[in-house]
Amino acid sequence: MPSRRFFVVSVVVLALGGAAAGGWWAQHETQDPPPGFERVNGRAEATRIDVATKRAARVAEVLVAEGELVGADQVVARMDARDLEAAALQARAELRRAREDQRYAAALIAQAESDLVFANQQAQRSEQLISSGGVARERLDSDRNRKAVAEAMLQAARIRNVEADAAVEAAQAHVQQIEIDLGDSVLRAPRGGRVQHRIAEPGEVLAAGGRVLALIDLDDVYMTLFLSEAAAGRVAIGAEVRVVFDAFPDRPVPAHIAFVADQAQFTPKTVETHDERQKLAFRAKARIEVGARYRPYAKPGLPGVAYVRLDPRVDWPARLATDWMQP
């Protein structure tokens, strides 16, 4: 009998406790917001960042797990880049050869300039001696021809030097491009956040642009709201919001209005009557101020209720005034 009585009492206590909790929830869930506030349902969202490969390659390793926090510029995966490493060796060899050819072209210019100086001196000497009969006419013609050839050889050497310079620049650009591709084979997180999904695993071959990881930016968590026409007209950008998630009904999280659409949704094309105007719904975005205490719980998809303060002169109700972020 005592055990049965204890069981009955326990059931009654649990029932009363459940009823009290349900009553508390129903009171907070169904009660109208006080004047100066708008109550809107929504779900938490976060900016998604895809980490993808720039070129077609095989995934060599993925260095992070789902749910792990990563910092900006942290290495999160590597692609197989052995073909690029071999191409880099070849490109550097081509660059060395181009530089040697550049030095050879410079030497040809020096030789051609020396030949031209000598040919010019010989031609001038022959021109001085031709009047006195010191040299034959054929010698003067030969010296003049040698001078013309030397001038042409110098011009050709200069052209060859320009080509050599261009070849060096092209080889340097090729090496630089391969080094960029090698750098891109190491995948880094563009921003800090949490790993939401490992889309690819080591050994998988991905096309260019293939996604390896999906991150969520914990510094850009927001709730999409649909405000009535009256509320959208009164709300200001930057207006304070309190978000109460279903999972934490007693822990309001601060937010602020960051965006209000300039066009209504879910409304007839032509709005004529007052009743139809009340059907207007404007999409808005409440950016949640993620603090250190909320960061471990921040995740997309959490349903909740947002209370938007339309009148900044009105104080927050006591149950929404507490900031969960504050210690």
User: In the chain, where are the structural domains located?
Assistant: 35-47+216-320, 82-185
Place of tokens 């790993």: 195
How do residues 242-261 score in pLDDT, each as one tens digit? 999 888 888 888 899 999 98
Amino acid at 327: P
Give, as one character, the DSSP assignment of residue 318: H
Listed ranges 171-185, 242-256, 285-299, 310-324; the one with the highest mean pLDDT: 171-185
> Which carries the bigger pLDDT value, residue 115 or residue 294?
115
Which DSSP helix (H) or strand (E) runs through 219? strand 211-228
Indicate whether 311 pLDDT > 70.
yes
The share of the chain scoring above pLDDT 70, in percent, equals 81
Share of the chain above pLDDT 90, in %: 49
Q: How confident is the model at residue 274 (pLDDT cuts 50, 70, 90)?
A: very low
pLDDT bracket for residue 94 (50, 70, 90):
very high
Q: In the prediction, which pLDDT does 266 show?
A: 63
Of 253, 227, 231, give the one whose Cα is nearest residue 242: 253
pTM: 0.68
What fold, for 35-47+216-320? Elongation Factor Tu (Ef-tu); domain 3 (2.40.30)
- Give the other-Cβ count within 10 Å of 247's Cβ: 11
CA 108 to chain centre: 50
Please give the pLDDT value at position 250. Answer: 84
- How many angstroms separate the Cα of 199 from the Cα of each of 72, 196, 214, 215? 19, 9, 7, 11
pLDDT value of residue 22: 40
Tell me the three state secondary structure of residue 202: coil
Gyration radius from the chain CA atoms = 40
Question: How large is the average pLDDT for residues 172-183?
Answer: 96
End-to-end Cα, the chain, rounded Å: 49
Is residue 24 pLDDT above 90, yes or no? no
Mean pLDDT of the chain: 83
